[in-house]
Amino acid sequence: MLDTGMTSRDVLRRIRRAGGTPVRLHQVGSHAKYQVGDCRTIIPLHSGDIPVGTLRAIERDLEPCLGGRWMR
């Protein structure tokens, strides 16, 4: 099960450790686009915890490149 107390900072840290890079050098709005290999995802940069459904979507987006359950 995913850790429900994850902030956008926590998710970005895990993506960067896995080799993820920002798609744009300058962020636009309150979301950041990251890429790992051929996989891309969007991370909301809001305060507080990211909802579980959004965490699952991020995990699914990057699963083909990082393998199953990479966020857990």
Q: What is the CATH number of the domain that holds 27?
A: 3.30.920.30
For the segment 36-43, the average pLDDT, to the nearest whole number, is 95
Q: Contact 23/43 with Cβ under 8 angstroms? A: no
Strands (E), 3-61: 21-22, 31-36, 39-44
Residue 27: inside a domain:
yes
Average pLDDT across the chain, whole number: 90
pTM of the entire predicted model: 0.88
Tell me which DSSP letter residue 71 carries: T
**Which amino acid is present at 55?**
L
Residue 3: inside a domain:
no
Number of domains the chain is built from: 1
Tell me: pLDDT of 1 over 90: no
For the segment 15-33, the average pLDDT, to the nearest whole number, is 88
Q: What is the domain extent for residue 56? A: 8-65
2 pLDDT band (50/70/90 cuts)?
low
